[in-house]
Copies of this chain bind each other. A is one copy, B any other.
Amino acid sequence: MERGRGALGPALELVHTGRAPTRAVLTSELGVTRATAGAVAAELEALGLITVDSRPTASAGSQGRPSHRLFVNENGPVVLAAQIHADGYRVALVGLGGRIVATTSGCGTIPADPALVLTEAVAAGSELLRETGRRCLGAGLAVPSAVAEPDGEALNPLHLAWPSGAPVRALFLQALADAGIPGVTEAIGFTGNDVNLMALAEHRHGAGRGARDLLCVASGHRGVGGALVLDGRLHSGSSGLALEVGHLTVNPEGAPCHCGSRGCLDVEADPLAFLVAAGREPGPEVSLLRQAADLLRDDYADPGVRAAADLLVDRLGLGIAGLVNILNPDRIILGGLHRSLLEADPERLRAVVADRSLWGRSGGVPILPCSLDYNSLVGAAELAWQPVLDDPLVVLGR
C-alpha cells in the first residue's frame, strides 16, 4: 500500500548530504523505480523532513521535463548540539543538512563538576528551543577528550578540570531530562570526541564529501587529535578510543611526553609547541590556538615564525605519513592549528607526507583544510540525527 518504507532512511541521507537534489537523482542513487522514489519523497515531505519545490525550474538543464527540486525542510525539526571546550561552551539547534538554525554560547572557566556546565548548556539549548518553537528529535555532545564506550565516559580531559572517567553521557542525558527536553529517551543523547565529530561533519557537509576513507587531524588547545570515517561511518574503535594519534613519535630527540615516551606528536605539533618554537611567550588571556593562528596570519613573514611553522609542518608531516602508511585514507582534512599551518604553506606539508609515506601513490593523497564553521558542533548534531537517518519512522512514529 504505502510505498517506499525501506528506502526512507537512505533517501533522507541523500537529501541530507546534498547528494539528491531531485527525485530523478534519488531514483538512480537508490536504484529504485521512479514510482518508489516519488513515494519516498512524498512520505519524507509528509513527515515534515523535506520540501519539494514544484515550481517550474528556471535552471535550463538539458532536454526533457525539468525535475522538481528537493530541499531539506528549513522549518523542520532540529536536534540540540552542544560543545564543551577549554574556554566555555557553545550550543546550537541544527536542522537537517547541517544547517545551524540558532546558536548561543557561554564562556568562562569550565567548572570541575561536569554536571554544572552540562546543565547550563542544556538550559541554554532549551531556551533556544522555546524561542524558535522547533521540535527537537535528539541531542549530541562534543567534548575535548576521548570518550570511552560503551558508557560514554570522558577519559583524561586534559584541558578541563574534569576528573578522568567522568560519565559525561549519563550526565548529559540527565541534564536533558531535567530540562524537560521533549521526547528525550535513553536512545537519544550522544557524546563524542570533538575531533571525531569534526570528521563526521566534514565528511557529510564539508571538505570530506564523497571520500570513502577520510582521516582528520586537528589540534585545538593542547595535544593532537585524530579521527577516521570509514564508508560513511565514524570509526571510533572497539571502546571508542581509536585514533589517539598524539603519541606517534615524530622527533626521537624531542621533549618528554606524559605518556612516557618522547617526541610525541602531542607535544611537538600543538599550539604551545608552535609558540615556543617561534620564541613567543604564551599568554593566558586567550586560547593557545587563537594566539598561534594570529601569529601565523600576521607574522608569517618573520623568519622566526616562518622557521617555527616549517618545523611543525615537518613534524606533522611525519606523523601524517605514519598514519597514511597504516590507514591508507583517500583524503585528509586538517583542523585547528594544523589547518592554519596547511594554509600557510600547502606544498611543504604535501611534500613531506609524500616523501615519508611508503608509496608514491599514497603520497598523492589530497590534504585539505576543514571547511565548516563549528564543525564539531555540526558533528554532534550528526550523531543525534543518525537514528532519524537510519529510520525516520522509528523516531517520528509512523
Contacts and interface: CB of A to CB of B under 8 A. Distances in A.
A385 B191 CA distance: 38
A156 B238 CA distance: 32
A8 to B, nearest CB: 17
B323 A326 contact: yes
Contacts of A239: 328, 330, 359, 361-362
23 contacts: A148-B361, A155-B359, A156-B358, A212-B238, A236-B328, A237-B329, A238-B328, A238-B329, A238-B330, A239-B330, A240-B328, A241-B362, A242-B328, A244-B326, A244-B328, A245-B325, A245-B326, A247-B322, A248-B326, A249-B252, A252-B263, A260-B356, A326-B327
B326 A242 contact: yes
A156 B360 CA distance: 12
A325 B252 contact: no
A238 B359 CA distance: 13
Quickly give the copy total for this chain.
2
A237 B361 contact: no
Contacts of A260: 355-356
Residue in A236, A238, A239 whose Cβ sees the most chain B Cβ within 10 Å: A238
Nearest to A365: B238
B248 A322 contact: yes
Nearest to A251: B252
Interface in A333-360: 355-356, 358-359
Given A249-B249, A252-B252, A358 B326 contact: no
Contacts of A146: 359
A167 B249 CA distance: 35
Interface of A: 146, 148, 155-156, 212-213, 226, 230, 235-245, 247-249, 252-253, 259-261, 263, 322-323, 325-330, 355-356, 358-359, 361-362
Nearest to A149: B328
Contacts of A235: 230
B359 A327 contact: no
Given A252-B252, A359-B148, A325 B247 contact: yes
A325 B228 CA distance: 13
Contacts of A236: 328
A322 to B, nearest CB: 7
Contact of A230 (B156, B230, B245, B252): B230
A296 B156 CA distance: 40
A242 B327 contact: yes
Contacts of A263: 252
Given A155-B359, A230-B230, A237 B249 contact: no
A328 B239 CA distance: 7
Contacts of A259: 356, 358
A388 B245 CA distance: 38
